[in-house]
Amino acid sequence: MRLRTILTLVGLVLVAIVLQTTMFSRLEFFTPDLVLLLAILIPLTKIRPELALLIAFTAGLTVDLLGSAVLGLRGIVFTIVAYLGIRTRDRADIGRIVTALWAGGLTLTGVILLILVGTLFGQSVLLGEGVVDRVIFVPIANFILAFILAPMFVRLIDRDSTAFRYV
């Protein structure tokens, strides 16, 4: 993988984290999990699967470092979601809606895992008011963002303008 691709990915993860912790934390009607979405979309690119897992783990760990929950929780969850993404990505590039549904489904898996593992490790900070609403709204928001951004993201990382044209 080229240095430029690595720098692009690091930049995107950083932008996702900053937007997630500032802009999207203040919106009540649209609550995506941008970093999780990034971990889901990376398997769609030509990046090696092992590296995709490592990036997902690092991105999750970075969010953990900035949050109040136990360190490693999101690292684990994002890695599992990225692994599921790698194993099912062949079925995701049929069409734009299918890609978005696939990303929304993986997001739902991710948020349920986050709550389950968080509960097992006593992370009450993740179980505040409205947690049930967020289990529904976060996958929907990620579905919408994936519908808009997934093809663009893959073309940017792979430097392939023909990728995800769904022809």
Partner 1 sequence: MLSRQPGDRTLPTLITLLVIGLLLMTYDIRSDGGGVTGTLRTGAQTIVAPLQKGAAFVVNPAIDAVDSLSNLAILREQNRALQQEVAELQAELIASVDDLARLELYEQIYELEATTTAVGRTVANVIGQPDAFDVALIIDKGSSHGIAVGQPVIDSSGFVVGSVQQVSALTATIVPITVGPSGVAVAVGEQVGFALPQVTTDEMRLELEAQEPVFAGDRAVTSSRSVNFPAGLPVGEVMADAAPTNDVLITTMAPYVQTDTLRVVVVLAWPPDPVTAATDAETTTTTTTTTIPGDGSTSTTAPEDG
Q: Which is nearer to partner 1, 132 or 165 (CB)?
A: 132
Minimum distance of partner 1 from residue 120's CB (angstroms)? 10
d(CA 58, CA 90): 24
| DSSP symbol at 126 | G
Enumerate binding residues for partner 1 (CB under 8 A): 14, 17-28, 31-33, 35, 49-50, 53-54, 57, 61-63, 65-76, 79-80, 83-84, 86-88, 90, 111, 114-115, 118, 121-122, 124-132, 134, 137-138
- Integer Cα distance of 131 and 138 in angstroms: 10
> 25 or 162, CB closer to partner 1?
25
Query: Which residues, at least 6 apart from 71, have a Cβ–Cβ distance to it below 8 Å?
Result: 61, 64, 65
**Rg over CA atoms, the chain:** 15
**Minimum gap (Å) between residue 52 Cβ and partner 1:** 9
